[in-house]
Amino acid sequence: MQPFPGRGIFFLVRHGETEWNRERRVMGRLGTSLSERGRTQVASLAPLLSELGAEVVWTSPLARARETAELIASALGGLPLHVDEGLTEVDYGTWEGQTFRELMADAAYHAYVRDPEMAAAPGSRERLVEVRDRVLAALTRIAADRPGGRSIVVSHGDPIRLVLAACLGLSVKEMRRLRVDNGAVSGFEATGDWVELKFANVRPDLAGIVGPLEDARPSGD
């Protein structure tokens, strides 16, 4: 089964690192920009992306994703660049700006971790099942724009996890089994009635992927 209609090959890129990623701080929909290391990550990823034959770049509207998409589009010879609101990050409400250490004292956060399908952050009306549905709707639009084509899609950690989980038939509760790093790309092919994962969380520095694992909590970025 395929979790959304349409055909094509999709390369999902998580934006490069920001200073808030380094600080383990929830960004949500706040307008943070790439750090110098984040820009270096994107520049290092570009040669890998150049071999994939992508025809267009789509991006979340948030600054860190748009900057990542602009760097990629330019490095790949000026590919067309489009924005889709459906690719934006999760609305983390009053948690945005807080560190994960601070959230450990919040009972609502622990409830969210236990039941991510139905719980929502304080001040947010968006549950992860709704995030999944809006991101899959964005991919439906992207597929319709270029049927059978190859598209780079720049988004955020949790939206990408939700898409990959849907492609693999995993529930929202299981999405954190999937690692999605800053400046990494995952690829899958949709045939119209079937989806095949080609690769996941690829980045130039493989040793960095298998190094000390980050705490598997909502990325909020």
Which residue carries 């622990």 as its tokens?
Answer: 110
Among residues 17, 89, 96, 156, which one is catalytic?
89
Q: What is the DSSP letter of 93?
A: G
| Beta strands per DSSP E along the chain | 8-14, 56-59, 81-83, 150-155, 185-190, 195-202
**Helix (H, G, I), strand (E, B), or coil: what is residue 201?**
strand
**H helix or E strand, kind and range, residue 75:** helix 63-75
Beta carbons of 6 and 144 less than 8 angstroms apart: yes
CA distance 41 to 23: 17
Query: Contact, 74 vs 81, CB < 8 A?
Result: no
> What are the residues whose beta carbons fall under 8 Å from the beta carbon of 148, sequence distance 6 or more?
7, 8
15 is catalytic: yes
The CA dihedral of 8, 11, 12, 13, to the nearest 10 degrees, is: -150
Which of 15, 67, 96, 156 is catalytic? The answer is 15
Asked about 89 being catalytic, the answer comes back as yes
CB 18 within 8 A of CB 33: yes
Relative orientation angle of helices 157-167 and 128-145, to the nearest 10 degrees: 80
N-to-C CA span, the chain: 29
Q: Which residues are catalytic?
A: 15, 89
